[in-house]
Amino acid sequence: MSERTRIRRLPEKAASTRADLEAVLDAARVAHVAFVHDGSPVNIPTACARDQDRLLLHGSSGSRMMRELAAGVPVCVTVTLLDGMVLARSAFESSMHYRSAMVFGTATPVAAEEKVAALRAMSEAWLPGRWATLRPPTSRELAATLVLAVPLTEWSVKVSDGPPEDPAEDLDAPVWAGVLPVLTRYGEPVPAPDLRGGPPFPAEAATWSIG
């Protein structure tokens, strides 16, 4: 924990173990990447995947975000998982269940000779087993792709759960109170309209999870 990652607002929601961080990052597929560009803050949603002690991001080598990060601008990467709507007896006490993580630092470009392994790690984090069924990336595709690693050294995790916390004077209000869970899950697969040869939906998908 550093001074900037110490949770001051509702510190009882802080989660502090490495396992807490990894659980949030591994459940997420999307991060918001915040940095200052030309004096203005920007916050860009992008795909993310944890690979051991680093968070990987990938993108076009022409992307403003990727080029800025590769140049070493300070970055704050945030991951958010929405778990529920908390319906309290007042608007003031109503809130949300969530798990969120913030990682501060600078990103480092993954070296050319490690790029395929890093891309494979991202694919395996999202869709285990899929990479081995795909053709290898071409040198042109690799040249067009930057992979960045943000070290998991300075971070915070906040988890909001539990029932509504209405004050005693609101408990007799004639309004339902409780939690409406939000579920993140995959739906029915939709085959590509140009799917040829009738390959089956991958069996390894049985192990795929999200959220």
Ligand X SMILES: Cc1cc2nc3c(=O)[nH]c(=O)nc-3n(C[C@H](O)[C@H](O)[C@H](O)COP(=O)(O)OP(=O)(O)OC[C@H]3O[C@@H](n4cnc5c(N)ncnc54)[C@H](O)[C@@H]3O)c2cc1C
Catalog residues that contact ligand X under the rule CB under 6 A: 4-5, 7-9, 80, 82, 96, 98, 100-102, 156-158
Shortest distance in whole angstroms from residue 100 CB to ligand X? 4
Select 1 or 144, whichever has its Cβ closest to ligand X.
1
Shortest distance in whole angstroms from residue 24 CB to ligand X? 9
98 is written with which tokens? 């969530």
Select 84 or 109, whichever has its Cβ closest to ligand X.
84
Select 80 or 108, whichever has its Cβ closest to ligand X.
80
Select 5 or 108, whichever has its Cβ closest to ligand X.
5
Residue 198: how many other CB atoms lie within 10 Å = 6
- Got the DSSP string for 131-168? GGGSPPPPHHHHHTEEEEEEETTEEEEEEE-SS----G
Q: How far apart are CA 202 and CA 211, in angstroms?
A: 20
Shortest distance in whole angstroms from residue 9 CB to ligand X? 4
Shortest distance in whole angstroms from residue 47 CB to ligand X? 19
> Could you give the 3-state DSSP secondary structure of residue 33?
strand
CB within 8 A of 197, min separation 6: which ones? none
